[in-house]
Amino acid sequence: MSAETAHRSEPLSAAELAARYGLRPSSARPPLATYVRKLWQRRHFIVAFATSRTVSQYSGARLGQLWQVLTPLLNAAVYYLLFGVLLGTRRNIDNFTAFLVTGVFLFTFSQRSVTAGARAISGNLRLIRALHFPRAALPISSTLVELQQMLISVCVLGLIVLLTGEPLTWRWLLVIPALTLQTLFNLGISLAIARVGAKIPDITQLLPFVTRTWLYMSGVFFSIYDRVPAGPIREAMLANPAAVYIELTRGLLLEGHYVPSHTWVLGVAWALVTLVGGFLFFWAAEERYGRG
C-alpha cells in the first residue's frame, strides 16, 4: 500500500504531499511558547529599532534630542497656565505645581504609548512585508520608544517636584516599581490597539478623542476626591488605570498626598491583566498582519 502511494503517478493532494516531506504552511502562527522564544531572540532588534526610532524622530529638528526634555517642560507650562492660573483648579491642593506636573507627565506616557501602538503595525507594513520576525516586536518597540522618553521626563519631573519644595525621601525609590507597572500596562494596551489599528486604520482618527476623554476622567489637573461626589462614578474614575498610576506616583513624590493602599493592588492587577490579555489578543492574529 505504502509503495503505491509513494509512486509518482498516484496523485497526492498537496496537503498530503506536504505532510509526507515535512513541509509546513509558510504563514502559520507559531505556538505561544515558540512565539515568546522567537520574540526573546529578537530582543536586540527590538531595542535597536526603538533607539533608531528615537534618533530619527528628532533628526529633522535643530535642537535634536533636546526636545525630549523641552516637550514635557512646555507641556507642563501650558497646563499650569491653563488650570493653575486661568481656571484656578488649584484650590484645596497643597502643592498644585507638583500635583499637576506629575499627572501630566504620567498621563502623557500612557497616551503616547497608545497612540504609537495604533500605528505600530499599520505604519510599518513595508517592513512587515519584507522581513520575517515576530510582529509583536513592533508594538513592544514603540512602547520602548515612549519609555525612553518617559525616563527623561521622570528626571525632569523629579527636579520640578524638588524645586516646589517637596523633600527627597526613600519613598522616591518606589517610583521605579510604579513606573514598571505602568509600562507593562502601556505595553499590553499597545499590543491590543496595534491589532485593532492594523485592521481598522480609522482608529488613529478616533484615538485623540478617546484619549482626551480619558485625560478628563483621570484627575490629571484636579483632585477626583474634591471634585467628584462619593459614589460609583468616583470609584470608577479612581479605579481607571491612568488614575491609579498617577495617584500611586503622586503618593510617593508628594508629602501629604494620601493614597489608599489598595491602589497598589489595582496597579498590579491592571498591569498583569492588560499585558497578558493584550499579548494573547495580538498573537491570535499574528499571521494576518501582512495583509494590511
Partner 1 sequence: MAETTEIAEITENQDVKSTAASDAPPTVIVDDLHIVYRVYGAGGTRGNAPAAFRRILKRQKSPNVREVHAIRGISFTAHRGESIGLIGRNGSGKSTLLRAIAGLLPPTRGAVYTDGQPTLLGVNAALMSDLTGERNIILGCLAMGMTPAQAREHYDDIVEFSGLGDFIDLPMRTYSSGMAQRLRFAIAAVKSHDVLMIDEALATGDAEFRRRSEERIRQLREEAGTVFLVSHSLDVVTQTCTRAIWLDKGIIKMDGDADTVVKAYTKAIQAAGARRANRRRRQPAASE
Q: According to CB under 8 A, which one of 32, 55, 78, 273 is a site residue for partner 1?
A: 55
| Region 185-214 residues binding partner 1, contact defined as CB under 8 A | 201
Contact status: 3 vs partner 1 (CB under 8 A): no
Contact status: 11 vs partner 1 (CB under 8 A): no
CB-based contact 94:165 (threshold 8 Å): no
Q: According to CB under 8 A, which one of 41, 169, 180, 213 is a site residue for partner 1?
A: 41
Contact status: 27 vs partner 1 (CB under 8 A): yes
Contact status: 52 vs partner 1 (CB under 8 A): yes
CA 54 – CA 132 distance, rounded (Å): 23
Contact status: 70 vs partner 1 (CB under 8 A): no
| Region 219-278 residues binding partner 1, contact defined as CB under 8 A | none
Contact status: 74 vs partner 1 (CB under 8 A): no
Contact status: 35 vs partner 1 (CB under 8 A): no
Instruction: Using the minimum distance from each CB to partner 1, give the nearer residue, 24 or 62.
Output: 24
DSSP, res 168? P
Q: Where are the alpha helices (DSSP H) in 95-240?
A: 96-120, 125-130, 137-163, 175-199, 203-217, 224-227, 232-239
Contact status: 44 vs partner 1 (CB under 8 A): yes
Contact status: 24 vs partner 1 (CB under 8 A): yes
- Per DSSP, the three-state class of 254 is coil
Q: Which residues, 6 or more positions from 275, have their beta carbon under 8 angstroms from its beta carbon?
A: 184, 185, 187, 188, 191
Residue of 157, 133, 134, 3 lying closest to 71 (CA atoms): 157
CA 281 – CA 131 distance, rounded (Å): 22
CB-based contact 263:246 (threshold 8 Å): no
The cell for 141 is: 518597540
Q: Which residues here bind partner 1, judged by CB under 8 A?
A: 8, 13-15, 17-18, 21-28, 41-42, 44-45, 48-49, 52-53, 55-56, 59-60, 124, 126-133, 201, 287-288, 290-292
